[in-house]
Amino acid sequence: MINLELPKKLRASANQAHQVAAEIFRPASRKYDLAEHEYPIELDTMAAMVEGLSDSGGDVSGATGGRKTEGEKDEHATELLGNSNGGNMSALMNALETSWGDVGLMLSIPYQGLGNAAIAAVATDEQLERFGKVWAAMAITEPSFGSDSAAVTTTATLDGDEWVLNGTKIFVTAGSRATHIVVWASVDKSLGRAAIKSFVVPRDAKGLTVSRLEHKLGIKASDTAEIRFEDCRIPKDNILGSPEVNVEKGFAGVMQTFDNTRPLVAAMAVGVGRAALEELRKVLTDAGIEISYDKPANNQHAAAAEFLRMEADFESAYLLSLRAAWMADNKKPNSLEASMSKAKAGRMGTDVTLKAVELAGATGYSQRTLLEKWGRDSKILDIFEGTQQIQQLIVARRVLNLSSDKLK
């Protein structure tokens, strides 16, 4: 069973991340919300800090998924009941805390991109040596599809000792700033989704072009790019995992990345939701509205009752996220729990932040606080890494034990 008390090492790491969020992210949050596409110079300080923490075994943002190389040990890991290393749990807590500060800036932390989670999840030891300290974005979505990741049309053709990539990717988070891009491409379209593999492509590779940056509703501090690959050549061993196509295993290998990253996105939503609840509590308290845990909700002010409902929803999303990370750390299949946490937290994040704007009235709708910004930021957390509807579909398939061709 899961022990819900975080061990000392994870608490210390989370406290460090919270200090970064409070002292670096929050003060700059509005500045970069109003200056979309401007590089946050405060992140240069973060780069040095992240590199130092990585060398000492820490991870401020948590995007790497917490994989440890052979020989590494965590003397505090046993404090999480049966936990093999605590890396995913640590990653989750750090993502939560930094997102409490600003989720757009969290997604912009140098060397901690979503592509790093893919590398941590499936790279060989040799690839970890080469790519362990790069800044890797993740390129999956294309102009022809959104949530259906199996509809990849970008191709990778083996030509001697090189792969040649062709195609277009959109909505690539950190696509113009990262040093490398993890690209999903098909090595043989005739074999369907089983032939989809992920490749590590240097951003300065010949044939790779950042064609535009998106203007967005939220997370404006984070760059979101469209990237084109035109006869883009990379070394043969830049493919993550095995180059062999296993039709029986199908798409499962490349999809394993999501089992690591979906709880992290859930944690981001939990962090933003907590920020909104804390700010809303201040607004309600200043308005003379008492929130009591000793009285039934129906005997309290309507706003207080709504706050209690949202806080309970927040707690359940938090606990589901912890469970998904705990299972990953203990090498337990967590596809169901990863999707459950992402679905719950994504929905909670949008509900809590927008309701907080509503309950705060003119204060919430204005730029006097960050409430309206959190309302805009939270929506993406219910979309990327698989929409709410996709997560519910995955949960239904797992619960009913039905394959994707039987339940669409």
pLDDT digits (tens, 9 = 90+) for 61-120: 555 544 443 334 333 332 333 345 578 899 899 999 999 999 999 999 988 888 988 888
Q: Which amino acid is at 155?
A: T
Instruction: Give residue 257's pLDDT.
Output: 73
Q: Look up tokens 């239904």; give the residue.
A: 396
- Maximum alpha-carbon separation in the chain: 74
Per-residue pLDDT of the chain (408 residues; tens, 9 = 90+): 556 678 888 899 899 999 999 999 999 999 999 999 999 998 887 777 666 655 555 555 555 544 443 334 333 332 333 345 578 899 899 999 999 999 999 999 988 888 988 888 788 899 999 998 899 999 999 998 766 767 899 999 999 999 999 999 999 999 999 999 999 999 998 888 889 999 999 999 999 999 999 999 999 999 999 999 999 999 999 999 878 887 655 555 566 678 888 999 999 999 999 999 999 999 999 999 999 999 999 999 999 999 999 999 999 999 999 999 999 999 899 999 999 999 999 999 999 999 999 999 999 999 999 999 999 999 999 998 889 999 999 999 999 999 888 998
Catalogue the active-site residues: 385
Question: CB of 126 within 8 A of CB of 70?
Answer: no
Distance between first and last Cα of the chain: 33
pTM: 0.89
Distance CA 262, CA 88 (A): 11
Half-sphere exposure of 37 (CA within 13 A, CB side): 8
Beta strands of 136-293 (E only): which ranges? 136-139, 155-159, 162-173, 180-186, 196-202, 208-213, 224-235, 239-240
